[in-house]
Amino acid sequence: MAHSRYKVREIAQQAGLSEATVDRVLHNRPGVREGTRAEVAQAIIDLDKQQSQLRLAGRKYLFDVVMQAPARFSGAFREAVEAELPSLAPAVVRTRFHFRETGSVPAMVEVLDKLVKQPSQGVIVKAPDTTEVSDAIDRLTEAGIPVVTYATDVPSSSRVGYVGIENRAAGETAAYLLEQWLYDTSASVLVTLSSNAFRGEEEREMGFRGALRRSGSVGGIGSQRTLIDISESEGLDTTVEHLVLDALERNPEIEAVYSIGGGNTATVRAFEKLGRSYRVFIGHDLDQDNKQLLRDKKISAVLDHDLRSDANLACRMLIQGRGGLSNVTTAMSPIRIITPYNMP
């Protein structure tokens, strides 16, 4: 074990061990049980936590959440953030929300640039992956304002990190589930995106297509399956319904849906208007629309992740960016497969 930043006496008191025992552990001397070494390691972890709590006491932070997303998603994330704020104590965190369902890249950049002057102490952002957005994030970090990207990344920027699922793996998971349902049928698949500008959606689609190709190489027919894409709907129901109706009228062989960008209620409505059915429908995020569709068994499965855990991690990463925490453990959000029978 490496030398600790704490005095032997402090570690011994925390672990309930003698100073001599702790000294032997810290210097990797023989004759110490593994259980004792684990107790010393845990004591150091506990001391780190206590130091963090002392640093946070009395600190106040103002964080901004900037999102371009349908209201059903941004509203659910806002609820998650607000529910997690008390768990960040003893730090006091206040939040401002800047949501828009539609908008141009210049409009998003304008919002981010304003936060340099307002001023913000940290920003959680869901935005298109463009050079202009990346530059705006860089301007925030140059001003000492840490930025965390959420749900869809802007990796070329100087953001302190990304929070969310591994989107390529999510697309691969969707392909796997879809192939189990479709089995040996040659049904075509409707793939719906809200915008090609969101890296997260692009990665899901890439993962989905790649997994279908691989299924073809191991005896499946995924590589032969026709995919019909619709995009630039921004996930809005009215636009989604219009685009899906057009796709269905042009492609009578569509019997499955992979919804990457949302608008699932509108997609289901389009099928019903034309008297069409589908074998499988896979979507993302357990928002209110998808919960109802699952209850009604109008969609097959939803790939979800814990928004509250995401919100908590994003805020802790921003606090770390402000020097209030250290060693915040980061990891991709686990992908949960939700069906009508296991909804939380």
- Model confidence over 5-27: pLDDT tens digits? 778 887 887 778 888 888 888 88
Does the domain formed by 6-54 have CATH 2.60.40?
Answer: no
Query: What is the 3-class SS of 216-255, one letter each residue?
Result: HHCCCCHHHCCEEEECCCCCCHHHHHHHHHHHHHHCCCEE
Report pLDDT for 50: 59
Average pLDDT score over residue span 144-172: 96
* CATH 1.10.260 in the chain, residue ranges: 6-54
User: Strands 336-338, 301-304: parallel, antiparallel or unpaired by DSSP?
Assistant: antiparallel
265-293 burial, b at 16+ Cβ within 10 Å, e below that, comes to bbbbbbbeeeeeebebbbbbbbbebbeeb
| Residue extent(s) of CATH 3.40.50.2300 domains in the chain | 58-163+306-333, 165-302
Angle in degrees, 0-180, between the axes of helices 105-117 and 131-142, rounded to the nearest 10: 0
Dump pLDDT digits (tens) for 22-60: 888 888 888 888 888 888 888 887 777 656 655 656 678
Placement of tokens 């860089």 in the chain: 138
At the fourth CATH level, the homologous superfamily of domain 165-302 is Response regulator (3.40.50.2300)
Cα–Cα distance measured from residue 252 to residue 93, given in angstroms and rounded to the nearest whole number: 52
pLDDT tens digit sequence for 75-84: 999 999 999 9
What residues contact residue 342 under an 8 Å CB cut-off, 6+ apart?
Answer: none
Cβ count within 10 A of residue 181:
17
Q: What CATH class does 58-163+306-333 carry?
A: alpha beta
Q: What pLDDT is recorded for position 279?
A: 95
- Is the predicted pLDDT of residue 190 greater than 90, yes or no? yes
- Residues in CB range of 261: below 8 A, 6 or more apart: 192, 193, 194, 195, 198, 201, 231, 233, 234, 235
Question: DSSP character for 261?
Answer: S
The residue with tokens 């959000």 is 333
Tell me the whole-structure pTM to 2 decimals: 0.80
Amino acid at 35: G
